[in-house]
Amino acid sequence: MKLTTLKKAWLLVLIILIADQVLKIWIKTHLMLGEEIPVFGNWFILHFTENNGMAFGLEFGGPFGKMILSLFRVIAIAAIGFYLYYLGKHKAHKGYIYTMALIFAGAMGNLIDSAFYGIIFNDSYRQVATMFPAEGGYAGLLHGRVVDMFYAPIIRTTLPNWVPIWGGEFFEFFRPVFNLADSSISIGVILIFLFQNKFFKK
């Protein structure tokens, strides 16, 4: 049976979600917070960290901000999911449908952490977390922390003194720690910018 573009897009979403969650659960149940595993020397490292906020470790307004952000994610993901369905039914450009699938999958992946990880895991401070601990999780519904692990400090150097403002200071690129869901969202957005003339001919 030949898959339609929309079905392929949903399959892409499913693959990304499974890969994202398998990796996050492995990190959460094998490493303590702050532990890391070098993959390609010091250039690419699996570094376990968690954040309460948005992509790449950004924060937003404490517990109340966390709840608002989680609720916003639920609404946004529902809207993106409906939009993805709409695009498929109205024969939008295949590339645009797939890029929206990337964004939807990434947003959904991080929402799962925020919604459920606080319930199904205990915390990772000075211990490796347990899944479904007898004493309960570390937070309530929609108050979980997003698991991040990709750390790629490709450049680590001290800037020359002649550089304005930051001369003589330590410089690192790329500093944020992120996850597969973040990458999926970023790739989707970048592809839309790069190929917008093809995607939006009408």
Which of the residues are catalytic?
A: 148, 182
Q: What is the DSSP letter of 138?
A: S
Q: How far apart are CA 128 and CA 152, in angstroms?
A: 23
Six-digit token string for 140: 């309530």
Q: Residues 17, 18, 22, 23: is their CA dihedral positive or negative?
A: negative
Output the 3-class SS for 68-88: HHHHHHHHHHHHHHHHHHHHH
Q: Name residues whose C-beta falls within 8 Å of residue 27's C-beta, 6 or more positions apart in sequence.
A: 46, 48, 147, 149
